[in-house]
Structure 1
Amino acid sequence: MRASFPDRGPVVTNKISQAHLGNVLRDATIPELPGHYRGKVRDNYDLPDGRRIIIATDRLSAFDRILTAVPFKGEALTQIARFWFERTADVCPNHVIDYPDPNVVVCRRLDIMPVEIVVRDYLTGTTSTSVWSMYKAGQREMYGIRLPDGMTEHQKLPDTIITPTTKAFDAGHDEPLTPAEITGRGLLTRAQWDEVSALALALFDRGREIAARQGLILVDTKYEFGFDADGRIILADEIHTPDSSRYWFGESYARRVAGGERPENFDKDFVRTWVTARCDPYKDPIPAIPDEVVLQAAALYTDVFKRITGRDFPIPDEPTPVLERIRANLARYF
């Protein structure tokens, strides 16, 4: 099975080779760093002075388990987020302090806001909290917003909307919220809600504008905000990566929707799709994922980087072991 990017030419994999398969970052444990917390795909270290080191590994997580490790995945996602953080810093302050390594961001620790902010421009989605799922079920009022009758799947919404949910910190399920519920439950004050709403819409507007220059439609995205020690609202986590956002290809959108087809998008579920075609991943053992599939997944992540940023992804001919490189670049934090 090969990754496919219709109307965009074949995926180029000639520089991603077997040598890179053996040079993935599965484990980013560094004993010299304090406050280690291992997430599904990122390892975090909390320094005593209030800074946090986040290392994006190459682990690929789905179905509540780690499926494999994909060369360059952690680096590509870190550098896509960096691209967007740098291009939106004038819109909203963010948590970034430094990038000592391509897989690493050093940032400020924040008190994370108990509300997850999702901004949407189109009537689409498959999860229970997506506007299309609700609309298809007959709802017209959702998240404190009323949508008109007669809309169709993947249609542009009359206005860009915010669909906030609870933030499930303990692996629970996100629940839809309205602005009135957010302030009524004391999750945020009215002033905080007004400010974070304005910031989210401004960030999305900047992202939509830059994506359009690359021939992409920024369909929807999730933002995570936190509060610093002075109570200021700060953008955290990641921004406009393919893991937190939906992108469609602008050149084929109208034609495909008019023909009743789904818009073309980044197939970030490439490996996930391969697995589900061969087993029930929630019940069965996961079959060994072939090298060819992993290499194609690597090509996909590096291609996504190029399509979003407009820059070639740097693929070394003779790769240095990733953890060795990270340790060297983080030595000053030991």
Structure 2
Amino acid sequence: MRILSEAYFPELPNYYRGKVRENYDLPDGRRIIISTDRLSAFDRILACIPYKGQVLTQTARYWFDATKDICPNHVLDYPDPNVVVGQRLDILPVEIVVRGYLAGTTGTSILTLYKKGQRTMYGITLPDGMRDNQELPEPIITPTSKAFDGGHDEPLTATEIVENGLLTKPQWETLSQYALRLFARGQELASKRGLILVDTKYEFGIDKSGAIILADEIHTPDSSRYWITDSYHESFQKGERPRSFDKDFVRSWVAERCDPYRDDIPEIPTKLIEETSAVYIKAFEAITGLRFEPDNREATPLERVRRNLTPFFSGR
């Protein structure tokens, strides 16, 4: 299988390895971000999924292009299907999640909190009597702040964000307007493709002038939840989860066979990895309406990325 498991190039400066992406900061203020095929879950790398990195980069590219009239983004160039070159930004310390439905499984999701009896969360009050996966009266922002010691995300209100000095009031107003407009555009275009954009995560930074810039990725299968529109109403009436791009085959398979936080990960079947790759590709085509064209130039993806990044090697 053609996979990009890592992308370390000693010819590039200021290397930083994330769970999925490799990063290099150039002296001129640009950042090279390479999406590998690594699949991260349970705070560890489980496997590599062929073409996952290309799918994420190209899906984000589609959305960055489709939303650049709403707010500025960090993109400068795409020298390779797995690579974006962007502005280096100071990332704001607030994670923005916009939600259009009462859904989610994490401890900070509004469905989890709602089932615990909470009606006021993130500074917003939801009505009684709502059901799982019900559409909200209007999309809401549910911001969180990640602890600096690697702890859990903590729910925040707009007032807390400003009073704690995480953002200024003008920054929060600009950021929240951007997020809601981006989400509205996402839902609009997704509906034309027979999809529902349920919720999504945004990351913003500021450039040297202090302008707020959209960073990282946007509306990808990893940062967003999509449902298939045709399945939604029937599933909702039955109290079932609507159909989605179920790419968590590997995660579920591992969790059924061990404690993924403590035990060694068993060998994952090749067929399971291939099925997950197919789901990512299907998601790309459904979300963008474009045909996925795997870039199989060079003997390996790593050699292809190296060739395409060679012009940057002198930029130390």
User: Does the pair score TM above 0.5?
Assistant: yes
Residue 330 of structure 1 is aligned with which of 304, 309, 313?
309
Residue 7 of structure 2 is aligned with which of 20, 28, 33?
28
Which string of whole-angstrom CA distances, capped at 9 and with x for unpartnered residues, describes residues 223-258 of structure 1? 000000000000001000111111111011000110
Residue 213 of structure 1 is aligned with which of 192, 201, 205?
192
Change in Cα spacing, 1:103 to 1:168, as seen in structure 2 (3 Å) is: farther
Aligned 8 A contact 1:97 1:105 in 2? yes
Q: Does 1:143 align with 2:118?
A: no
Give the deviation of 1:319 after TM superposition.
6.3
Give the deviation of 1:176 after TM superposition.
0.5
Secondary structure of the 2:117 match is coil
The 10-residue stretch of structure 1 (78-87 or 57-66) with the greater mean CA deviation from structure 2: 57-66
Q: Does 1:298 align with 2:280?
A: no
Q: Does 1:268 align with 2:247?
A: yes
Which string of whole-angstrom CA distances, capped at 9 and with x for unpartnered residues, describes residues 150-189 of structure 1? 1111001111111111134553211000111011111111
Change in Cα spacing, 1:304 to 1:28, as seen in structure 2 (3 Å) is: same
Change in Cα spacing, 1:204 to 1:111, as seen in structure 2 (3 Å) is: same
Letter in 2 for 1:113: L
Secondary structure of the 1:81 match is helix
Aligned 8 A contact 2:22 2:35 in 1? yes
Which string of whole-angstrom CA distances, capped at 9 and with x for unpartnered residues, describes residues 15-47 of structure 1? xxxxxx1x2111201110000011111110000
Aligned 8 A contact 1:165 1:177 in 2? yes
Q: Distance in 2 between matches of 1:301 and 1:53?
A: 23
Which string of whole-angstrom CA distances, capped at 9 and with x for unpartnered residues, describes residues 287-314 of structure 1? 1111111111111111111110111111
Aligned 8 A contact 1:243 1:268 in 2? no
Aligned 8 A contact 1:99 1:106 in 2? yes
Change in Cα spacing, 1:32 to 1:141, as seen in structure 2 (3 Å) is: same
Residue 181 of structure 2 is aligned with which of 190, 194, 202?
202
Q: Distance in 1 between matches of 2:52 and 2:135?
A: 31
Where does residue 248 of structure 1 map in the other structure? 227
Change in Cα spacing, 1:170 to 1:333, as seen in structure 2 (3 Å) is: farther
Q: Distance in 1 between matches of 2:118 and 2:127?
A: 10
Letter in 1 for 2:42: F
Change in Cα spacing, 1:306 to 1:170, as seen in structure 2 (3 Å) is: farther
Where does residue 68 of structure 2 map in the other structure? 89
Q: Distance in 1 between matches of 2:101 and 2:146?
A: 22
Give the deviation of 1:316 after TM superposition.
5.6
Q: How many percent of aligned residue pairs carry the same amino acid?
A: 63
Letter in 2 for 1:231: G
Q: Runs of 5+ in structure 2 lacking a partner? A: none
Residue 158 of structure 2 is aligned with which of 164, 179, 182?
179
Residue 266 of structure 2 is aligned with which of 241, 262, 287?
287
Q: Distance in 2 between matches of 1:135 and 1:62?
A: 25
List aligned pairs for 1:56-135, cutoff 5 A: 56-135=35-114
Residue 307 of structure 1 is aligned with which of 282, 286, 296?
286
Letter in 2 for 1:77: L
Give the length in aligned residue pairs: 313
Q: Please report the RMSD computed on the Cα atoms of aligned residues, expressed in angstroms.
A: 1.2
Q: Distance in 2 between matches of 1:31 and 1:93?
A: 31
Change in Cα spacing, 1:169 to 1:39, as seen in structure 2 (3 Å) is: farther
Q: Distance in 1 between matches of 2:223 and 2:149?
A: 19
Give the deviation of 1:318 after TM superposition.
7.3
Q: Does 1:189 align with 2:168?
A: yes
Secondary structure of the 2:233 match is helix
The 10-residue stretch of structure 1 (140-149 or 164-173) with the greater mean CA deviation from structure 2: 164-173
Secondary structure of the 2:98 match is strand
Secondary structure of the 1:277 match is helix
Q: Runs of 5+ in structure 1 lacking a partner? A: 1-20
Q: Distance in 2 between matches of 1:80 and 1:38?
A: 22
Q: Distance in 1 between matches of 2:94 and 2:233?
A: 33
Give the deviation of 1:202 after TM superposition.
0.4
Which string of whole-angstrom CA distances, capped at 9 and with x for unpartnered residues, describes residues 269-292 of structure 1? 121111112222122221111111
Q: Distance in 1 between matches of 2:275 and 2:295?
A: 17
Secondary structure of the 1:241 match is coil
Change in Cα spacing, 1:245 to 1:233, as seen in structure 2 (3 Å) is: same
